[in-house]
């Protein structure tokens, strides 16, 4: 199982009878897979560093615009309180203004909705975009880091070596990428940031290790959680999940508008005489598309 499989299983485990959950894949990668599994999944992405139009970047270009959306102004292009679950894989380390992003994710999550983020944090040993250990521990723009990267590359370490040419060119390219596209944070900082916008911040590295590697390595079954947590945090990163505070006194408020319910369930657009106009408007645009 890979990260996509892990996240798909995480979503499936939250599916309750008869309700098709509405999911946002923030920084897309999972949308087609989840939709194939009959999950009502949408995506949005800033499509950084792509070098071609986002539509060409997607394996299924037909989803672009309706199901998968660009975020030209940095806002998530979906209504408030729209998603039951938000997933993101290998995205948060690329987000510079994480507070604005978390505020946006909190806005589009339904009360009681869940967020799960799988991504590398600062304490990971090997930097995943360069393939060189500890290179992300140096300060940005550090000269020393450039020499360190060159030395590691000369010793044979690093990704994309063929594509990026000489040792110097490779090290400059990768260090520039780290400066511009990565923003590593420590776990305590991440927990504090996630906790400012969501509640019940939980770390799921042990469960992640068991699900991802349990069938491949039998030793995983006998290792204590603490060991698995340490290994995952060192080798891959963190698995943070949290929830948006439920609305006080709300009684099944998310059934106000339920075009995502599976056939056979009654569709209630009105409840207690209340219409969620922005959701109705969004549904109308979907129908017109």
| Interface positions with ligand SAM (CB under 6 A) | 26-29, 45-48, 89-91, 94-95, 101
Tokens (6 digits) for 198: 């969501």
Q: N- to C-terminal Cα distance for the chain? A: 35
Instruction: Choose between 148 and 204: whose C-beta lies nearer to ligand SAM.
Output: 204
What residues does 24 pair with on adjacent strands? 42, 86
**Look-up of token digits 């139009």:** 53
Instruction: Choose between 88 and 258: whose C-beta lies nearer to ligand SAM.
Output: 88
Instruction: Choose between 12 and 50: whose C-beta lies nearer to ligand SAM.
Output: 50
Query: Taking CB positions, which residue lies at the least distance from ligand SAM?
Result: 29
CA–CA gap between residue 152 and residue 69 (Å, rounded): 39
- Provide, rounded to whole angstroms, the least separation between the CB of residue 25 and ligand SAM: 7
At residue 202, the 3 state secondary structure works out as strand
- Provide, rounded to whole angstroms, the least separation between the CB of residue 68 and ligand SAM: 11
Q: What is the DSSP string of 225-287?
A: HHHHHHHHHHHT-EEEEEEPPPPTT-SSGGGSS-TTSPTTS---S-BTTB--HHHHHHHHHHH
Instruction: Choose between 64 and 148: whose C-beta lies nearer to ligand SAM.
Output: 64
- Provide, rounded to whole angstroms, the least separation between the CB of residue 27 and ligand SAM: 3
- Provide, rounded to whole angstroms, the least separation between the CB of residue 263 and ligand SAM: 30
- Provide, rounded to whole angstroms, the least separation between the CB of residue 239 and ligand SAM: 14
Instruction: Choose between 130 and 150: whose C-beta lies nearer to ligand SAM.
Output: 130
CA–CA gap between residue 53 and residue 122 (Å, rounded): 31
Please count the other Cβ atoms lying within 10 Å of the Cβ belonging to residue 14.
Answer: 14
């Amino acid at each position: 199982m890979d990260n996509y499989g892990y996240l798909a299983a995480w979503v499936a485990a939250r599916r309750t009878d008869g309700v098709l959950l509405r999911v946002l894949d923030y920084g897309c990668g999972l949308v087609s897979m989840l939709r194939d599994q009959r999950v009502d999944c949408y995506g949005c992405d800033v499509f950084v560093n792509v070098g071609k139009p986002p539509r060409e970047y997607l394996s299924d270009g037909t989803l672009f615009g309706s199901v998968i959306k660009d975020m030209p102004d940095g806002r998530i292009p979906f209504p408030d309180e729209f998603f039951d679950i938000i997933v993101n894989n290998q995205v948060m380390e690329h987000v510079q203004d994480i507070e604005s992003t978390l505020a946006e994710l909190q806005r589009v999550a339904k009360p009681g909705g869940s967020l799960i983020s799988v991504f590398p944090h600062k304490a990971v040993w090997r930097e995943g975009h360069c393939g060189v250990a500890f290179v992300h521990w140096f300060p940005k723009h550090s000269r020393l880091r450039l020499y360190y990267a060159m030395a590691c590359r000369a010793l044979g370490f690093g990704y994309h070596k063929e594509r990026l040419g000489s040792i110097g060119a490779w090290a400059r390219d990768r260090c520039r990428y780290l400066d511009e596209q990565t923003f590593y944070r420590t776990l305590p900082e991440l927990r504090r940031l996630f906790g400012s916008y969501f509640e019940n911040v939980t770390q799921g590295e042990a469960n992640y290790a068991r699900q991802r590697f349990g069938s491949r390595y039998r030793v995983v079954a006998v290792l204590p959680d603490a060991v698995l947590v340490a290994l995952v945090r060192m080798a891959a990163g963190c698995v943070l999940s949290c929830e948006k505070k439920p609305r006080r006194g709300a009684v099944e408020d998310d059934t106000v508008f339920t075009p995502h319910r599976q056939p056979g369930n009654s569709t209630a657009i009105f409840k207690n005489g209340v219409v969620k106009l922005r959701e109705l408007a969004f549904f109308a645009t979907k129908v017109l598309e």
